[in-house]
Amino acid sequence: MRALFNLPAPAKINWFLHVTGRRPDGYHTLQTVFQFIDWCDTLDLIRRDDGVIRRIGAEDLPEHDLCIRAARLLQQTTQCPFGADIHLRKSIPQQAGLGGGSSDAATVLIGLNRLWQLGLSRQTLMQLALHLGADVPIFIFGRNACAQGVGEELQEIDLPTPWFAVVHPARGLSTRAVFCALDLTSQIPEAKIAGFAEWLKLNCAESLQGSWQGEQQHKQQYKQKYKQQCKQRKSEQKSGSMLGKNPMWGRNDLQQSAMALEPEVERAMSVLREVLTQNALQPCFDGRMTGSGSAVFAWICDVGKLNARAYGEALIALPAGWQGRLCQGLARHPLRHWIDA
């Protein structure tokens, strides 16, 4: 095998992101749920027999280009004699909280493991991926997951695959800067992930139009409890930040610090609301920032009636320099089957 072409590197969203503490080494611990979406970068990998690893078709690469680092880490760990030409076609915006760079690095690891016929297991690749960044292992794991620790403790979770509207303003945000600006003393006590599973199962069946079939008695039991939660969370929301009629479960603890660093994040919420109205799209719940920002997203109602392809998957009427897409949630990474258990 000499080459692999058009390998997908999907983006992700965080349904919620709770920061639960800070370790002595400076890393923050968290709770989150990752879901892959079909907004993808694509990569070509061409095997070289001289051991050289390089990016092609790109200029002014950063000194620590993550795709190059991933390839070299794999090469050095396995003592593989082969090299590779790596051609990356970017679509996912950078510094958006969508995991584009991490996903690119993971696809390089997955692709070169196959191209170089190394046969490394998923667990081994995940251990390597953690050296590249806390988000990289989730893309090797290949399933939507609950994450804890610094993001490396993963537990598979079944999620619906609805459509999301995603908007990224013209300016991005440094993950490091957002975490540095976080005030842990003002954080709300963490909510248990089990509560998210309950909310998803018992409240979202109607929004998903039958793709999740919660039992009727469970819905009745949960109805009053959820109504009270909605009232409480609405009072905690900033005025004007609501998109849908109900709040989503949990929160993104990084959103306030991101808004303080970059006012465009707050503006993105307003723009998302306006664009959805212009496109006759109705969000199921309030919108939210993903990851450390600066992209925001909303879950779209009436999935069965939505002809997203008619929009070319792109949201119209965005400000100059902004990016927006209609994306569908994925049940798993497109290359998950390329790695043995």
Catalytic residue annotation: 12, 135
Secondary structure (3-state) at 308? helix
119: left (phi over 0), alpha (psi -120 to 50) or beta: left
Pairing status of strand 83-89 against strand 53-55: parallel
Q: Exposure pattern of 118-140 as b/e (b: 16+ CB <10 Å)?
A: bebebebbbebbbebbbbbbbbb
Do the Cβ atoms of 34 and 21 come closer than 8 Å? no
Report the C-alpha gap between 259 and 294 in whole angstroms.
9
Q: CB count, 10 Å around CB of 265?
A: 26
Name the nearest CA neighbour of 114 among 39, 68, 45.
Answer: 45
Number of C-beta neighbours around residue 184 at 10 A: 11
Please tell me the distance from the alpha carbon of residue 45 to that of residue 30, in angstroms, as a whole number: 34
DSSP annotation of 321 reads T
Contacts 24+ apart (CB under 8 A), 129-133: 129/70, 129/105, 131/73, 132/66, 132/69, 132/70, 132/73, 132/102, 132/105, 133/66, 133/101, 133/102, 133/105
Task: Tell me the residue length of the chain.
Answer: 341
How far apart (Å, rounded) are the C-alpha atoms in residues 298 and 189?
A: 24
Q: What is the dihedral of CA 149, 154, 159, 164, to 10 degrees?
A: 60
DSSP, res 94: S
